Amino acid sequence: MSKTNWKRNLYILMVCQFFVMGAMTMIIPFLPLYLQELGVTDPQAVSRWAGVIFGANFLTAFIFAPLWGKLADRYGRKSMLLRSGFGMAIVLTLTGFAVGPWSLLFLRLLNGMISGFIPAAIALMSMSTPKKQMGYSLGMLQAGAVAGGICGPLFGGVMADLMGFRMIFYVTGAALLVAAMVVLIFVHEKFEKKTETVKTNTVQDFKKIASTSPVLSVFIVFFIIQVALIGINPLLSLFVQELTTSQNVAFYAGLAMSVMGFANMSASPFLGKLSDRKGHQYVLLFALLFAAIISFPQAFVESYWTLLVFRFLLGLCLGGLLPSINSLLRHLAPEGMESRTYGFSNSFMYLGTMIGPIAGGWLASVAGIRSLFIVSSILLVVNVLIVYYKIIPHMKKQKQAQKRSERPETKIEKDVIVDRAK
């Protein structure tokens, strides 16, 4: 794909990711309140239903991600963007017509099943971007998604006060429909369908991909990142309540999340470019190390503003994690199985997103909220060791092998030139 085309796709998908992520995060903070509107009045029942409905989306997303990855390799990544965009637009609009918690649960399961707009965008850009600019491209995509994640709850809160909860789902559906239409008209993919000589199932695909060293290690690192960092988020408001005497706890908790998001958005393009020059594995290593160092002292803060500084610094680290992982997977994925590799990677991500809050809630009930930061730091150190001992040595060997393979070709070309001169 030409330089103009891949850059045009990048900027279009950045805007689309902003709208999609903004639309998705508009509704998440208000699910418990929407349940109350649907007739669930008991506080404990609201908590149980909210947890189940929140996790349901990720459960089906975890199950179906490999299937969408396989179909993307067969029919193209743009087709998966359109499937997800139009599908979620319909489902989220229907969510505004839910009549009770069971219908809401069914629609959230259905939404998780057909979701995958952002992973599909990452897969499309990873295949069309020159490898030397992969980090920059994926960093820019992440910046768009994070910006949407920051603005979504803000817009959702304003609309909920002005128009009610149901209207948020209608607006969300409309935003997703617009994003899907933009992709349909303006995003171009040069996809060449490759005929498969041997039909494989999901288990066989995973075995082949996981046997390509060190892809499985990258999957595990992605899973641990989600468990370590996402597990804290649902309980952050309680920790903020412990640190501040103000009545505006929701505002301060939202500010702590937004500060981290702004730092992430700001750092992603820069760290992406840096990883293109220095190596994705090294940016991943130092971002994990810095994140581990920053996470530990948060367990001992006594001031909200100190916590805010640490959350900002942690956000800077996040800017180097996901783009580096996705760039590594693009370099390591078996040829013709790139989207399937991203599909399995997304399954590990969704699994971590499910397990993190559950494990975090249990740990906080046993050892207190502050223990979450210590455990998070330990998990990130484990990741540092995996990257240092499993991923970096392999990438060094791969680079050396590439240099050796290039040397004979260079020599042959020189010999041909000499012969022609004679």
Tens of pLDDT, residue by residue over 178-212, are 999 999 999 988 877 766 656 778 888 888 898 88
The answer to whether residue 412 is domain-embedded is no
Cis peptide, bond prior to residue 334, ω within 30 of zero: no
Stretch 54-73: mean pLDDT, rounded?
86
Could you tell me if residue 13 is inside a domain?
yes
In a domain, 195, yes or no: no
Residue finishing a domain among 187, 214, 241 = 187
**CB within 8 A of 380, min separation 6: which ones?**
224, 225, 228, 288, 289, 291, 292, 295
Q: Both 240 and 131 in a single domain?
A: no
34 and 172 part of one domain:
yes
The last residue of a domain, from among 154, 187, 220: 187
Task: Specify the DSSP class assigned to residue 63.
Answer: H
Indicate whether 229 and 166 sit together in one domain.
Answer: no
Is residue 346 included in any domain, yes or no?
A: yes
Q: If you average pLDDT over every residue of the chain, what do you get?
A: 84
Residue 82 lies in a domain: yes
pLDDT value at residue 33:
76
In terms of domains, do 122 and 172 share one? Answer: yes
Residue 417 lies inside a defined structural domain of this protein = no
Domain boundary residue, one of 187, 220, 243: 187
| One domain for residues 112 and 236 | no
130 with 16, same domain? yes
Is residue 377 situated within a structural domain?
yes
> DSSP assignment of 266-327, as one string?
HHHHHHHHHHHHH-HHHHHHHHHHHHHHHHGGGGG---HHHHHHHHHHHHHHHTTTHHHHHH
Q: What is the CATH number of the domain that holds 230?
A: 1.20.1250.20
265-322 pLDDT per residue, tens: 888 888 888 988 888 999 999 999 999 999 999 999 999 899 999 999 999 998 889 8
- 231 and 104 in one domain? no
pLDDT recorded at residue 265: 85
Residue pair 218/346 in contact (Cβ under 8 Å)? The answer is no
Is the N-terminal amide bond of 66 cis, ω within 30° of 0? no
On whether both 18 and 99 belong to a single domain, the answer is yes
Tell whether 207 and 164 lie within a shared domain: no
Helices marked H in 130-164: 134-163
> Which residue is associated with the tokens 């279009």?
12
HSE-up of residue 364 (Cα within 13 Å, Cβ side): 21
Q: What is the pLDDT of residues 135-176, one digit of tens each?
A: 888 888 888 888 888 787 777 777 777 888 888 889 889 989
Considering only CA atoms, give the Rg of the chain: 22
241/174 same-domain check: no
Residues 258 and 132 in one domain: no
Average pLDDT over residues 253-258: 77
Give me the number of domains the chain comprises. Answer: 2
Does position 3 have pLDDT exceeding 60, yes or no? no
Is the domain of 147 the same as that of 249?
A: no
Structural domain including 5 reads: 1-187
Structure pTM?
0.80
pLDDT for the residue numbered 310: 94
Position 112 in a domain: yes
